[in-house]
Amino acid sequence: MIGQFFSFVNGAANEQQLRTFLEETVSVLPRGFLGVKNTRDILDAIFHALTTWSPNKALCIPMFCLNILECDACRALRSRRTMISQPVSELQRHLVVNIARFLTKFILANLLDFAFIYSATNKSHYQFYDRKGFKFWRGIEKRKFIRDYDVKIAAPYSEISSKFIVGSTPCRTIVQNVSQLTSAHKNELRVLAACLDGHVKAAGLKPVGALTFEIRRLKRFLKGYALRCQLIRKPGSKAPSKRLYFAKADISNCFAAIDRKILKNALRKLVKDRVMTAVYGYGKTDDFKRVRIDRAAPTYETAVESMLQAMKRKCLREFTKVPVKVQEVKGSEVVEAIMNLLAGIRLSLDSSGRLYTMGKGVPQGFELSCRLAHIYLLFFEHMSWKRLSTLTCLLRYVDDYLICSYSRMEVRKILETLQKPNVFGISARASKCQASFRIPNVQRAGRYLKWCGWLIDTKRYKVFQQRSDAQLIRATRCFSKMEYARRRILLRQWDGNSS
């Protein structure tokens, strides 16, 4: 039993019993799989985190096991994977499962009576809170949410479109819809989302959440730079090849910074007097679930074609080739419906039953938040940079910017625009701004610039998709020796430059 290996001594763990339990936990792993040094490292990491923990503080345990799985011993097993009794991937999963069971049973059942877990987005560590510490940090996040979104008590008889509660995690505050939405309300949200996407496409702007689209733009820009360098390096040409300058920025509180008056103006300029034709159809997934697909376009033929393409991309079966319903939606109706939905949002911050309203911003968790934030930032970019040089590539995914340019001054001007106060309320976090060259009050990046899960090599001008150790473990196939070595060297170089 777990309890017989553990007891409290003055609010902390008994060191001897804790170490005994850890050693017995690791002993169930395949012999020789980790090696003596790696086993000692993982024991020391967990042991140090548990024994130094104190109440009202987050217990942070780095998941060194994921890094250890990519050690020399595991690499040797990969090269001799035909000589072991089980595939390497199964042994790796077995190790992760054992460590996960240890963290769950040992910490939740013994160390913390009332524990709350927060997992980082990159799965690099876990944080454990007791009840008192959780309430303390949750209170800080709630007060910050009230300040950022200008939360006030709602009028008693005001119209309510939807009711939300504030999420219960000690990280970025996200609201959750708890109102009983009718089918008509859900269909209205689907139609509005399809109309917004249709207006963005009709205006020739980039779609929402198009990370792949942005990466393709960056690769084309880098390819054009390589071709330009080849032309310059021709015999007889004395012009030196210019280098590229990179920088990245992250918008602070993007969703809370949205001014609703400016958002309404941006929506009106986007939709104009355009009338969208909204259509929808149904298809079935592999497990025979019925899925509804909504699309909108200025013409009926374009809307139907877009709907059928979406169904094929989702690999739906038995989908309707003729729309179930066709609806004409005016641009002014879209703007009015969206602003009414935002004004009708009500929040429940506690168990008192009192409802609150938000004076500004678009809360994360609202169905149209990502699209509205995207349109707001498009309007900000149009007003701030009406014309950029063709030698500059400005990329954005949600609220993360990446700048690549031939001109050092162009990069500096864009960063200065993002950092200085403006009427839009958009400002970049100084702590998360990085540049490949020296700029005052901006962090200097290393050779590899990390952006939205991709690594940009600022010396060789190449783009790599960054895969964590956990993603390498879950890979369905084993990489070749050369590919495996290349990926590990790349990650080590990134870790060294970031430190």
Burial grade of 178 (CB within 10 A; 0-12, 13-18, 19 or more): exposed
CB 20 within 8 A of CB 37: no
User: Among 69, 65, 30, 34, which residue's Cα sits nearest to residue 49?
Assistant: 65
Q: Is residue 34 part of a domain?
A: yes
The pLDDT of residue 258: 93
Average pLDDT, the chain: 75
pLDDT tens profile 279-322: 999 999 888 888 999 999 999 999 999 999 999 888 888 888 88
CA separation for the pair 266, 378 (Å, rounded):
9
Q: Is residue 69 part of a domain?
A: yes
Structure tokens, 20: 């005994």
Burial grade of 465 (CB within 10 A; 0-12, 13-18, 19 or more): exposed
CA separation for the pair 15, 496 (Å, rounded):
33
CA distances from 352 to 150, 260, 348, 357, 359 (A): 20, 28, 8, 15, 21
Residue 262 CA, chain-centre distance (Å), reads 26
Owning domain of residue 8? 3-129
The total number of structural domains in the chain stands at: 1
CB 415 within 8 A of CB 428: yes
CB 294 within 8 A of CB 278: yes
Contacts of 271 (CB under 8 A, 6+ apart): 199, 331, 332, 334, 335
Q: Is residue 153 part of a domain?
A: no
Q: Is residue 320 part of a domain?
A: no
Q: Which residues of the chain have pLDDT under 50?
A: 1-13, 28-33, 63-66, 69-70, 72-73, 77-84, 108-126, 469-479, 499
Q: Which helix (H) or strand (E) holds 337?
A: helix 331-343
CB 446 within 8 A of CB 497: yes
Stated pTM of the model = 0.73
Structure tokens, 418: 């993002």
The pLDDT of residue 429: 85
Q: Which amino acid is at 261?
A: K
User: Among 223, 235, 271, which residue's Cα sits nearest to residue 404?
Assistant: 223
The pLDDT of residue 377: 94
Q: Is residue 291 part of a domain?
A: no
Q: Is residue 102 part of a domain?
A: yes
For 49, what's the count of Cα atoms within 13 Å in the CB-facing half-sphere?
A: 20
Q: Which amino acid is at 269?
A: K
What dihedral angle (degrees, nearest 10) is formed by the CA atoms of 462, 465, 470, 471? Answer: -130
Instruction: Using alpha carbons only, give the angle 93, 98, 101 rounded to the nearest 5 degrees.
Output: 120
CA separation for the pair 70, 38 (Å, rounded):
11
The pLDDT of residue 435: 93
Structure tokens, 492: 């080590």
Length of the chain in terms of residues written? 499
Q: Is residue 241 part of a domain?
A: no
Burial grade of 317 (CB within 10 A; 0-12, 13-18, 19 or more): exposed
Strand runs labelled E in 167-269: 175-177, 245-250
State phi, psi for 465 to the nearest 5 degrees: -80, 125
Contacts of 387 (CB under 8 A, 6+ apart): none
CB 383 within 8 A of CB 391: no
DSSP type of residue 103: I
pLDDT tens profile 208-238: 888 888 999 999 999 999 888 887 766 655 5
SS3 (DSSP) at 357: strand
CA separation for the pair 223, 232 (Å, rounded):
14
Q: Is residue 15 part of a domain?
A: yes
The pLDDT of residue 65: 45
CB 254 within 8 A of CB 362: no
User: Among 331, 191, 195, which residue's Cα sits nearest to residue 274?
Assistant: 331
